[in-house]
Chains A and B, each alone.
Chain A
Amino acid sequence: GDSWGMLACLCTVLWQLPAVPALNRTGDPGPGPSIQKTYDLTRYLEHQLRSLAGTYLNYLGPPFNEPDFNPPRLGVETLPKATVNLEVWRSLNDKLRLTQNYEAYSHLLCYLRGLNRQAATAELRRSLAHFCTSLQGLLGSIAGVMAALGYPLPQPLPGTEPTWAPGPAHSDFLQKMDDFWLLKELQTWLWRSAKDFNRLKKKMQPPATAVTLHLEARGF
C-alpha cells in the first residue's frame, strides 16, 4: 500500500514538474532575448549617433566641430549625467540601473526633439527625426526589459519635465553649447547602456559562451 502510495506521489510530482515555472525553460524565453535586443539597439544607436553628431557639429561650426574642443559642462545641469563613479556604478542594482537608463533617455529624447525644432536645414531635421525615432525605440525596449523583469516604470515627476525654452533667456552660443553637450551626453549614455545591458545579459544567461560568440558576430 505504501509503495503504491509512494509511487502515486512520485507520479504526481513528476506530472506536475513541467508546470513548475522555474524548470519550464522551453516555454517562456525570459528577459534574455529582449535584453539582447536592447543591447543591439544600443550599439546601433551608437553607430547612428556617430554620423548624426558629425553632421550636427559641422552645422554648429568651428570650434564645435574641432576634435580637441572640450568646453566645461556649464549651464547644462538639467541634462542627465551619464558619468558616475565606478564604485557607485557597481553598487547599483538592476532595477536602479534600468530606471536610470529609462529616465535618462526620456529626458534626452525630449531635448533632442527640441533640437529638431531649432535646426535650420531640412536635411538636419530629417536626420534628427530619424534618430529620435530610433531613440524612442530604445526607450520602448528598456521599458520591455523592465516589464519582463517585473520592475515598475518610473513615473515622470510633475514639473521635472524639461522644457525647451529658446529665446532671449538663452543666447545662441549657450544654445550651441547645450546642443554640444546633449550630443556628448547622449554618446556617453549609449556607452554606459551598452555596458549595463551587457552586464545584465551575462547575469540573466549563465551559458555565456554562446552569447558572447553571438555578440562578437554582431559587433560593430
Chain B
Amino acid sequence: VMDISLCLKRPSWVVDSKRMRMASHFQWLLLTAVLLYLTNQVNSQKKSTPHDLKCVTNNLQVWDCSWRAPSGAGRGASYEVCIENGSRSCYQLEKNSKIPPLLPGDYEITVNPLYEFGSSKSKFILNEKNVSLIPETPEILNLSADFSTSMLHLKWDDKGSVFPHYSNVIWEIKVLRKKNMEIVKLVTYSTTLNGRDTVHHWNWTSDMPLECAIHYVGIRCYIDDPQFSGHKEWSDWSLLKNISLPPDSQTKVFPQDKVILAGSDLTVCCVTQEKVLSAQIGSTHCPLIHLDGENVAIKIRNISASASSGTNVVFSVEDNIFGTVVFAGYPPDIPQKLNCETYDLKEIICTWNPGRPTSLEGPRSTSYTLFESFSGKYVRFNRDEVSANENYQLFFQILSNQEVYNFTLNAQNLLGQTESTLLVNITEKVHPRIPTSLKVKDINSTAVTLSWHLPGNFTKIKLLCQIEINKTNSEHELRNVTMRGVESSNYLTTVDKLNPYTIYTFRIRCSTDPFWKWSKWSNEKQCLTTEAIPSKGPDIWREWSSDGKNLIIYWKPLPINEANGKILSYNVSYSSDEETKSLSEIPGTQHKAELQLDKNDYIISVVAKNAAGSSPPSKIASMEIPNDDLKIEQALGMGNRILLTWNYDPNMTCDYVIKWCNSSQSGPCLMDWKKIPSNSTETVIESDQFRPGVRYNFSVYGCRNQGYQLLHSVIGYVEELAPAIAPNFTVEDTSADSILVKWEEIPVEELRGFLRGYLFYFEKGERDTSKIMGLESGRFDTKVKNITDISQKTLRIADLQGKTSYHLVLRAYTGGGMGPERSMFVVTKENSEGLIIAILIPVAVAVIIGVVTSILCYRKRECALKTLEMNPCTPNNVEVLETRSVAPKIEDTEIISPVAERPEDRSDAEPENHVVVSYCPPVIEEELANPGAEGGGGSQVIYIDIQSMYQPQAKPEGELDSDPVGGAGYKPQMHLPITSTVDDLDADDDLDKTAGYRPQANVNTWNLVSPDSPRSTDSNSEIVSFGSPCSINSRQFLIPPKDEDSPKSSGGGWSFTNFFQNKPND
C-alpha cells in the first residue's frame, strides 16, 4: 500500500517541478519578447529619438551617462531626463551628463529632448548592472632609484577620498627596460581604499644595475567594490615614468665593488660609447648581452666565492679596458666555541672560532662586537689583530662589583649577521698564568720552603696549587696545597717529609677553587737537602782468616737512603769484658778491616760517619756459638735464585744471616751474605754471580745476643748440569764368572750437580766387534746396573761366562743428566773350577764315559791345535796389547786410549778407555795396501772369504752411488768397492741418512778418512767405526748409528795391525 502511495506521490512532485521550470522559461520568453519589442521600438524611433544610453562611473559617486542624440539635434541641445523610481525626478541635462548613482534595481529613464521639434522622447530601463566601473587612470607621484642597490622606488596616490566606502584595489605595475621597452616585471599589488587619499610605495630590485639601461614604470588599477554589481574594468595605464641615469658617471662598469652572496646570480654591464670586444670574469670569458647603443651586459650565474682581493670583471674595448671587482662571499657563521675566562681576575678574555670563512677580507671582513648585557658595556674586535695571529679574541675589563657576565658576541658583515651568547660566572673560570720566580729554601734535612709569584687579583678566591717533587731514579710525587688568594703577590708553602741529602726537583702549577684549569707548569727548581746522620749502622759480617788468627770484619756500604749523606769514614772498635779498643778511622771507600784478636770473646762494633754525625753502631760477636748437630742439606735453584728454608728457632732473637760461597774454592770463602729478620724461616738468595753447574755452600746462621750460631749448611746449585767427565774405573779382579770393578769419585768441579748414581753396562763383546752403540737402546744382551747408592765405589759382576770378552761401560749421572761414558774390555778367566769339578765329580762314571770322552777329547784337540796354529795368542789370559810387537800378557790392565787416536773427534766427551783384549778372530785377515786410501794413513782389510763370496756381486762405485734403493730398507751388507775416493762420501752420506737398516759392513768406513761419515755410531766408542771383521752372519753389527754427527773412525782404513799401531803408546 505504501509503495503505491509513493508511486502516486512522486509523479505529482515531478509535475510540480516541471511546471515551475516551464513557468521560468515562460518568463524568459516573455522578457525576451519585451526586449525585442523595445529594441524594435527604439530602432524604429532611433532616427528621431535619443538612443544608446550608456552609463559608466569611476568613483561610484556619479554615473556618467550618455546617449546618442537624435539626428538633427544640434550641439548644446538640452534634454529632460526623468528617472522613475517610485517618485519621479527630472533633470534638465545636456548630452553625456552625470546623474547620481542609483540603488540596485531597474529604473525607467525618460530622455526628452527639449526644444527639438520632430523628435520624441525616449524611454530606457537603467540598472546598476549595466553600469561600468572604470577607475580613474592612476598617476605616479614619484619614481626614484637607488643605484647602489639597483632598487626602484615607486610612489603614487590611490585617491581613496573620492570613493564612498571601503573597497579593495588591485594595482598592476609594469617595469620596462631599454628603449624598446621590454617588459621585465609585471606585478600586481593589492591595497584597500579607506576613504582617504593614501600614498602607496612599491620597491623593486632590478637584477641588472639601473645604470645599465633606461627603465620605465607604468601603473593601472582595478577596484573590486563588493557592493557594486556592474562591470568592473581596469583603469588605463598611467603615463610611463623613467629613471634618469646619474649624470656624468665616471665609472663605466656597473655595479662597482659589489658584495654578493656566493652562489647567487649577477648581471654586470658596461656603459660605453665604444664597441665592447669581450668580457671576462676572472679568467673566464662570458657571452655579451647587448643593451641600448654599445652598452653590453654579462650574466654571471652561481658565482663562486672570491679570492681575498675579490673577483675581477673586465670589459675590453678597442684600446682600453673597463672593469669592476665583485666580492662574492658568505654571511658570518655563528661564532663557535665562544669561551670566556680570566687569567688574573682583572680582564676577561673571550675567544671563539669564526666557523666557515666568509671569503670577504679587508674592509669587508666580519666585524665582531662583544656585548655584556648586565653592564651594557661592549668591546669591538680590531680586524688588524686577526691577520696578525689568526686568533679571535677580545678582552673585557672585569668590573669590580660584578661576577656574572652575560656576553653576546655579534658577528656582522655586509651579507648578514649572527650572534652567540654565553653566561659566565667569572670566578669559576680562572685559568691562572704560569707561576714565576719559583724559589726553594732549606728548613732542615727533610723540609724546604717553596715560594713563587702568581700575577692576578685572587683576593676573593682560594688557590689550589700542585707541587711536583721529582727525585732521581724515582717516581715523581704530586702534593696539593690550598691557600687563600692575594693580590698579585708571592705565595709560600712548606714541603716536608723529604729525604736527607737527596736531590729534588720541584715545579708548581696552580688552579683555583672551584677548579677550572691548571696553569702551565712553572720552571723547575733543583735543591739538595742537607745531610742527616746515617739512620742505620752498616750491615756487618765477620770471618776468621784461614789461619784462625785474624778476624776479618766485612761491612756493606750503606744505601743512599740510610747513609743520609756522604759516608766519610768508618769506626771499628772491639770490646771484651775487660777492655775496649778502637782501630784508627777507616776511609769511607774501604769496607773491611782485619783484627788480631786473642781467644777472648769480643764484640765488634762498626759505625759509619758522615758530615752530620755517626750512625748507630752495628755489633757482632767474634766467636761463633757452637752447634753440635749440624746438618748439611741440598738445595736447587732456578735461574739465578735459590730458595733456602730453615726451621723456626725461638732462641734466635736478632736475625738470621745467610752466607754463601763457591764451594769449589778451598779455604774460608765469602761471596756475600744476607740478613733476614728473625721471624722468617725462608729466603730467596739471588745473585748475578750464580752460575749453573757450580756448587755453592750456603750457611744459615742464627743470631743471639750478637753472637751467631751456624744452624745448618746447605749445598746447592742454581742449576744442575750433567757430569763433565766419566768416572775413572779399573778392573780390580776377574775370575771365570765375575769381574770386580772399582771406580773413583768425580771431583766436585766436574760433577756439576748432585750425583744421583752410576750406570754400569756390560755385555759380551770384543774390542773389535762390539760396537756398543747406544747402550740405552736396550739391546737384549746388554745388561745395565743402576747404582743409586752413590757411596758405592765397587761392583762385582757375577754370572759371567768364562774366557769371554766383556765390554764394560760406566757413566755417572746427576740431576742435570748423564755424564759421558768410559768403557773397557775385559776377558774373563777360563773356568778352571768348573773343569776340575767336571773332572772330579764324574770320576765314578769316568771309566764308562772315559772312552767316549777320550774320543771326543781327541777330536777337540785336533780342532784346538788348528786354532792355535792360526792364533799366536795365548788363551786363558787377559791381554793388553800395547805395541805392535807381540803384546805382553798383562792381566786386567787398563789403558787409557789417547785422544790422538781419534784426531777428528772434536767431541767434548771423555775419550773412552780401552782395554784391548786379545782373542781369536774367527776370520782370516790380510793386510793389503790400498792405493786409493793410502793417503789417509789407513790400510784396507780384505776379508778373503767374504770378498771371494761377494766380490762378483760388488758393484762398481758409480753404480753404488746411483743405487735406487735410496737408502731405504735393506742394504746389502757388502758393498765393497776396491778403491774409494773421498768424493764418494757425500753420496753415501745421503743414502745412509735415510737408511732404516745399516749394512753390517760398509767398506767406506773402514777404508777412508771420513770425518763426516755417519757410520760412526757412538761418539764415545770408536770401536763401532771399525768394521766388523766377523763373517756377515756371525757377529752382529746391526745397531744403526745413533749419532750421525759423531766423528769418524780414525786413521781411515783399519786392520788389526793398524789398530795395534794406534794403541796407547801414541
Contact = CB atoms under 8 A, between A and B. Distances in A.
Contacts of A209: none
B321 A122 contact: no
B362 A118 contact: yes
A59 B309 contact: yes
Interface in A172-217: 172-173, 176-177
Interface stretch (A34-42, A44-52, A66-74): A66-74
B317 to A, nearest CB: 10
A120 interface: yes
Interface residues of A, number: 20
B324 interface: yes
A1 interface: no
Return the 8 tightest CB-CB contacts between A and B, nearest first: A62-B283, A172-B325, A120-B362, A120-B361, A173-B323, A122-B387, A120-B308, A171-B256
A184 to B, nearest CB: 15
A64 interface: yes
Given A120-B362, A122-B387, A173-B253, A59 B308 contact: yes
A172 B310 contact: yes
Contacts of B311: 61
B324 A62 contact: no
B375 to A, nearest CB: 34
Contact of A122 (B251, B253, B319, B388): B388
A181 to B, nearest CB: 13
B308 A121 contact: yes
Residue of B253, B280, B312 with highest tally of chain A CB at under 10 A: B312
A60 interface: yes
Nearest to B390: A122
Contacts of B282: 61-63
Interface of B: 251, 253, 256-257, 280, 282-283, 307-312, 314, 319-321, 323-325, 361-362, 387-388
Contacts of B280: 62-63
B312 A120 contact: no
B383 to A, nearest CB: 10
Given A61-B309, A66-B283, A173 B361 contact: no
A69 to B, nearest CB: 9
A125 B308 CA distance: 13
Contacts of A66: 283
B312 A173 contact: yes
Interface of A: 59-64, 66, 71-72, 74, 118, 120-122, 125, 171-173, 176-177
A165 to B, nearest CB: 14
Contacts of B308: 59, 120-121
B259 to A, nearest CB: 11
A212 to B, nearest CB: 42
Nearest to B326: A172
Contact of A171 (B307, B321, B325): B325
Nearest to A59: B309
B440 to A, nearest CB: 43
14 contacts: A61-B307, A64-B312, A71-B321, A120-B308, A120-B387, A121-B308, A121-B387, A122-B387, A122-B388, A171-B251, A172-B256, A172-B324, A173-B324, A177-B323
A122 B387 CA distance: 6
A59 B362 CA distance: 13
B67 to A, nearest CB: 66
A116 B199 CA distance: 52
B309 A176 contact: yes
Nearest to A70: B321
Per DSSP, chain B at the interface is: mixed
A172 B307 CA distance: 14
A176 B387 contact: no
Given A176-B323, A177-B323, 20 more contacts: A59-B308, A61-B282, A61-B309, A63-B283, A63-B314, A64-B312, A74-B320, A118-B362, A120-B308, A120-B362, A121-B308, A121-B361, A125-B387, A171-B256, A172-B309, A172-B310, A173-B256, A173-B257, A173-B312, A176-B325
A62 B312 contact: yes
Residue of A59, A60, A62, A71 with highest tally of chain B CB at under 10 A: A62
Contacts of A62: 280, 282-283, 312
A176 B308 CA distance: 13
B420 to A, nearest CB: 26
A87 B55 CA distance: 91
Contacts of A177: 323
Nearest to A119: B362
Contact of B312 (A72, A118, A125, A176): A176
A72 B316 CA distance: 11
A72 B320 contact: yes
Given A121-B361, A122-B387, A171 B312 contact: no
A172 B326 CA distance: 9
Contacts of B314: 63
Contacts of B319: 72
B325 A173 contact: yes
Contacts of B325: 171-173, 176
Contacts of B257: 171-173
Residue of A118, A120, A177 with highest tally of chain B CB at under 10 A: A120
Contacts of B388: 122
A59 B308 CA distance: 7
B320 A60 contact: no
Nearest to B325: A172
Contacts of B309: 59-61, 120, 172, 176
A74 B252 CA distance: 14
A103 B895 CA distance: 121
B266 to A, nearest CB: 15
A136 B361 CA distance: 29
B386 to A, nearest CB: 9
A118 to B, nearest CB: 7
Residue of A59, A71, A125, A177 with highest tally of chain B CB at under 10 A: A71
Nearest to B308: A120
A63 B251 contact: no
A3 to B, nearest CB: 84
A64 B309 CA distance: 12
Nearest to B251: A171
A26 B323 CA distance: 61
B310 A61 contact: yes
A62 B311 CA distance: 8
Contacts of B256: 171-173
A63 B280 CA distance: 9
A63 B285 CA distance: 11
A94 to B, nearest CB: 38
B597 to A, nearest CB: 88
B120 to A, nearest CB: 79
A10 to B, nearest CB: 74
A72 to B, nearest CB: 5
A59 B306 CA distance: 11
A63 B324 contact: no
A89 B816 CA distance: 109
B279 to A, nearest CB: 11
B362 to A, nearest CB: 4
Residue of B309, B310, B311, B314 with highest tally of chain A CB at under 10 A: B309
A102 to B, nearest CB: 32
Residue of A66, A118, A172, A177 with highest tally of chain B CB at under 10 A: A172
Contacts of A171: 251, 256-257, 324-325
A177 B311 CA distance: 14
A60 B309 CA distance: 6
A120 B364 CA distance: 10
A31 B283 CA distance: 50
Contacts of A118: 362
A21 B323 CA distance: 61
A60 B282 CA distance: 10
B254 to A, nearest CB: 11
A180 to B, nearest CB: 11
A137 B263 CA distance: 47
A60 B283 CA distance: 12
A176 B257 CA distance: 12
Contacts of A122: 387-388
Contacts of A125: 387
